């Protein structure tokens, strides 16, 4: 994931972190929203006197000369020149209304993000050159944004209230655009014409700042994301705060926003248990936690360190999430709405490693990593000096043999430094029905070498279905797309009433065992009890044994599922082989002498990588009342292909 926070957005059908507009506009009346006068006064005393944004102003030529030495930022000139030769895509009414007619969100979002992602390279290129060459293109963008009826995405305005001018809601990308434009106006200053600055300021205020001020001062009903405990909260608040700090001349006015964002950002942290596990998936850690870090950094720098949200409970644990989730070098399970090849964003990892004195996942390069691909505020936070810049990097350490998230019930099993094992495993318990979650209780991901062979296929391409009542009809979101049992022909249920109960666990340097009860995950009336035991060993090349024990009130069908992007074949009545590239895993099955039936089918869902995973079924030939099926998985050699 080379572009991190915002590559994740674009590569996910250019629509990361999108939930239904109903959820965004919902509001829990028992949650305190209004920011009180005491908090505003305290924040007023802490804030610096002038407006603030990341990055040096354009007339600070020494600072920009230093930034110009960095290859990534210098490359912005070529990118900006290329963009100036391309016309702006149209985002007219017909394209906006396509989502409400058909549920297709991709066409509008492609054009929308084509527009918004131009701002960062154009502004950076102008700051590097300072010859005025890119100012006309920035002026054109400002005019184009002014002409859009709404800066929200169609998927977030399903009732078309904002499109028709009957509402002034704020979403992920209207707030992001406001923040980027505010940052651009701040660093470019008088290089922009007065009409352009006025147009930018007017739009930021009417589309984002004025509505937010009314929400947090009790003058209108707040959007529901202000109290949500997922990525929407952190992303929107970071953007609103960045826009306010960069544009509002009155210190007390800025303090209203700063105090409200400081207060309400605690809701994002409420989405995490004490172990720091991100139930939304690693991609959303990049996006949501990355924006929470930006919010913290904005407050920290704007108050000269007096407002410090980095020190809150759970923040350090959340920062450690990728290191504990990693199965082997650069390989992570794609739980939740994540990509199959999901990785933590290096600049963010470098920042949090330094900020919290954590041992790095990968060797540091001696200076803070940078990016020139996100919104302007995010890019300049990492390019310019920040609160982690002067902190010494902690040398990488060898990952532990295992890591356990006790609240999320997720176990990482690694070969370990002193073993010859090549097999790594991630095992997932937890609960269904969580934000951006899938029906995957008792699932696992198996890697041989660095190749994921038995996988969680990750997220589908987002459509109107993804965040509707039909979400769990997706065969990669429901349990059909996961390495779990199929009970009496039934998939897992899609509510928080389904959870894994950990009955026993034993972790050591030589092997790990996790024993869980999955009975509540299935609504099959015949089901009495279902348990699943995982035993991982580091001996020899490593192995994973999965033992499923199921009891029914009367004979019922029973099967287990394996999901892969590789190839497979049945090699005996009780054995199959799965392989991809130069790695393979052999699966030996024992069901007490009962006959097994092997079958497979492609999962016909639209995935970001466009490949279709294969669903392998291993079923009892005859229904049974009591079942004990053992699956032993060991690294093997792929077949010799003719």
The CATH architecture of the domain made up of 4-56+167-383 is: Alpha/alpha barrel (1.50)
Quick one: what percent of the chain has pLDDT higher than 90?
81
Spatial CA neighbour of 325 closest among 425, 438, 455, 396: 425
- Mean pLDDT confidence for 322-336: 94
Which of these ranges, 3-12, 140-149, 219-228, has the smallest mean pLDDT? 3-12
Give the pLDDT confidence of 171-189 residue by residue, as tens digits.
999 999 999 999 999 999 9
Residues with Cβ within 8 Å of 163's Cβ and at least 6 positions away in sequence, in order, are: 93, 96, 97, 149, 150, 154, 157
**pLDDT for 68 beyond 60:** yes
Give the pLDDT confidence of 226-241 residue by residue, as tens digits.
999 999 999 999 999 9
- Give, for 526, the enclosing helix (H) or strand (E): none
Side-chain-facing half-sphere of 20: CA atoms under 13 Å:
13
Whether the CB-CB separation of 77 and 71 falls below 8 Å is answered with no
Percentage helix, strand, coil for the chain under 3-state DSSP, each rounded to 5:
35, 20, 45
- Mean pLDDT confidence for 414-419: 78
Confidence at residue 20, expressed as pLDDT on a 0 to 100 scale: 44
pLDDT interval class at 368 (50, 70, 90): very low
**pLDDT for 463 beyond 90:** no
Confidence at residue 31, expressed as pLDDT on a 0 to 100 scale: 52
Handedness of CA 115, 121, 124, 129 (dihedral sign): negative
Confidence at residue 363, expressed as pLDDT on a 0 to 100 scale: 53
Per domain, the residue ranges of the chain are 4-56+167-383, 402-636
**pLDDT for 453 beyond 90:** yes
pLDDT interval class at 372 (50, 70, 90): low
Confidence at residue 25, expressed as pLDDT on a 0 to 100 scale: 53
- Mean pLDDT confidence for 583-612: 95
Neighbour-count burial of 195, counting CB atoms closer than 10 A to its CB (0-12 exposed, 13-18 middle, 19+ buried): exposed
Neighbour-count burial of 367, counting CB atoms closer than 10 A to its CB (0-12 exposed, 13-18 middle, 19+ buried): exposed
Confidence at residue 421, expressed as pLDDT on a 0 to 100 scale: 79
**pLDDT for 397 beyond 50:** yes
pLDDT interval class at 366 (50, 70, 90): very low
Spatial CA neighbour of 44 closest among 250, 255, 216, 217: 255
Q: How far does CA 321 lie from the centroid of its chain? A: 12
pLDDT interval class at 418 (50, 70, 90): low
Choice between 382 and 638, residue whose per-residue pLDDT is larger: 638
Q: Note whether 4-56+167-383 and 402-636 share their fold.
A: no
pLDDT interval class at 24 (50, 70, 90): low
The first and second tokens of residue 251, run together, are 């210190």
- Mean pLDDT confidence for 425-443: 95
Q: Report the residue count for the chain.
A: 642
- Mean pLDDT confidence for 453-461: 94
Give the pLDDT confidence of 93-124 residue by residue, as tens digits.
999 999 999 988 899 999 999 999 999 999 99
**pLDDT for 482 beyond 80:** yes
Give the pLDDT confidence of 491-516 residue by residue, as tens digits.
999 999 999 999 999 999 999 999 99
- Mean pLDDT confidence for 166-171: 97
pLDDT interval class at 75 (50, 70, 90): confident
pLDDT interval class at 445 (50, 70, 90): very high
pLDDT interval class at 13 (50, 70, 90): very low
Neighbour-count burial of 46, counting CB atoms closer than 10 A to its CB (0-12 exposed, 13-18 middle, 19+ buried): middle
Confidence at residue 3, expressed as pLDDT on a 0 to 100 scale: 31
The CATH number of 402-636 is 2.70.98.70
Choice between 198 and 347, residue whose per-residue pLDDT is larger: 198
**pLDDT for 17 beyond 90:** no
- Mean pLDDT confidence for 431-450: 94
Confidence at residue 14, expressed as pLDDT on a 0 to 100 scale: 36
Q: How far is CA 98 from CA 93, 94, 161, 170, 314, in A?
A: 9, 6, 15, 21, 42
Spatial CA neighbour of 95 closest among 48, 154, 34: 154
Confidence at residue 641, expressed as pLDDT on a 0 to 100 scale: 60
The first and second tokens of residue 121, run together, are 């390279």
Confidence at residue 367, expressed as pLDDT on a 0 to 100 scale: 43
Record the pTM: 0.92
Confidence at residue 373, expressed as pLDDT on a 0 to 100 scale: 54
DSSP class per residue in 159-223: T-TTTTTS-----HHHHHHHHHHHHHHHHHGGGS-HHHHHHHHHHHIIIIIHHHHHHHTTSSPPP
Whether the CB-CB separation of 299 and 42 falls below 8 Å is answered with no
pLDDT interval class at 84 (50, 70, 90): very high
Handedness of CA 449, 450, 456, 457 (dihedral sign): negative
pLDDT interval class at 1 (50, 70, 90): very low
Confidence at residue 283, expressed as pLDDT on a 0 to 100 scale: 92
pLDDT interval class at 392 (50, 70, 90): confident
């Amino acid at each position: 994931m080379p572009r991190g926070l915002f590559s994740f957005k674009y590569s996910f059908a250019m629509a990361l972190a999108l939930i239904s507009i109903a959820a965004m506009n919902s509001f829990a009346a028992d949650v305190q929203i209004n920011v009180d006068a005491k908090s505003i006064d305290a924040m007023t005393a802490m804030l610096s006197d002038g407006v603030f944004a990341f990055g040096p102003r354009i007339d600070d030529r020494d600072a920009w000369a230093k930034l110009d030495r960095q290859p990534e930022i210098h490359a912005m000139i070529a990118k900006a020149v290329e963009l100036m030769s391309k016309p702006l895509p149209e985002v007219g009414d017909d394209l906006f209304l396509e989502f409400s007619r058909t549920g297709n969100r991709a066409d509008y979002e492609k054009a929308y993000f084509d527009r918004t992602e131009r701002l960062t390279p154009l502004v950076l290129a102008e700051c590097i050159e300072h010859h005025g060459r890119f100012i006309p293109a920035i002026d054109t963008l400002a005019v184009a944004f002014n002409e859009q009826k709404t800066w929200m995405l169609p998927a977030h305005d399903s009732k078309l209230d904002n499109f028709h001018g009957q509402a002034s809601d704020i979403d992920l990308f209207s707030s992001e655009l406001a923040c980027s434009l505010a940052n651009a106006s701040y660093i470019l200053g008088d290089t922009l014409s007065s009409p352009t600055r006025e147009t930018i300021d007017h739009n930021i205020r009417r589309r984002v700042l004025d509505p937010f001020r009314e929400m947090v001062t009790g003058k209108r009903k707040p959007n529901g994301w202000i109290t949500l405990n997922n990525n929407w909260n952190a992303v929107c608040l970071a953007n609103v705060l960045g826009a306010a700090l960069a544009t509002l001349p009155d210190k007390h006015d800025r303090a209203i926003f700063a105090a409200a964002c400081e207060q309400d950002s605690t809701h994002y942290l409420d989405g995490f248990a004490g172990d720091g596990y991100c139930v939304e998936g690693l991609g959303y850690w990049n996006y949501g936690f990355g924006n929470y870090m930006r919010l913290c950094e904005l407050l920290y720098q704007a108050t000269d360190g007096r407002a410090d949200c980095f020190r809150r409970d759970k923040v350090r644990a959340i920062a450690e999430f990728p290191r504990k989730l990693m199965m082997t070098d650069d390989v992570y399970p794609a739980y939740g709405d994540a990509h199959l090849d999901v990785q933590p964003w290096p600049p963010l990892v470098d920042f949090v490693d330094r900020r919290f004195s954590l041992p790095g996942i990968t060797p540091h390069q001696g200076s803070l990593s940078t990016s020139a691909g996100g919104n302007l505020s995010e890019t300049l936070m990492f390019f310019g000096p920040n609160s982690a810049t002067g902190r010494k990097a902690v040398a990488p350490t060898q990952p532990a043999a295992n890591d356990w998230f006790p609240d999320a019930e997720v176990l990482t099993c690694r070969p370990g430094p002193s073993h010859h094992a090549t097999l790594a495993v991630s095992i997932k318990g937890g609960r269904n029905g969580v934000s951006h979650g899938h029906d995957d209780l008792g699932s696992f991901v198996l890697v041989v070498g660095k190749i994921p062979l038995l996988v969680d296929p990750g997220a589908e391409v987002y459509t109107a279905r993804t965040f509707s009542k039909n979400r769990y009809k997706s065969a990669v979101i429901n349990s059909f797309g996961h390495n779990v049992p199929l009970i009496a022909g039934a998939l897992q249920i899609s509510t928080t009433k389904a959870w894994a109960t950990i009955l026993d666990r034993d972790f050591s340097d030589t092997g790990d065992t996790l024993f869980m009860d999955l009975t509540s995950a299935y609504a099959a009336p015949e089901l009495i009890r279902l348990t699943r035991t995982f035993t991982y060993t580091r001996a020899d090349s490593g192995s994973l044994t999965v033992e499923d024990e199921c009891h029914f009130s009367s004979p019922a069908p029973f099967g287990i599922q394996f999901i892969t992007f590789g190839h497979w074949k049945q090699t005996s009545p009780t054995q199959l082989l799965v392989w991809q590239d130069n790695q393979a895993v052999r699966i030996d099955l024992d069901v007490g002498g009962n006959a097994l039936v092997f079958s497979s089918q492609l999962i016909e869902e639209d995935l970001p990588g466009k490949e279709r995973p294969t669903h392998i079924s291993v079923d009892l030939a005859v229904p049974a009342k009591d079942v004990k099926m053992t699956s032993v998985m060991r690294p093997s050699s792929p077949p010799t292909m003719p």
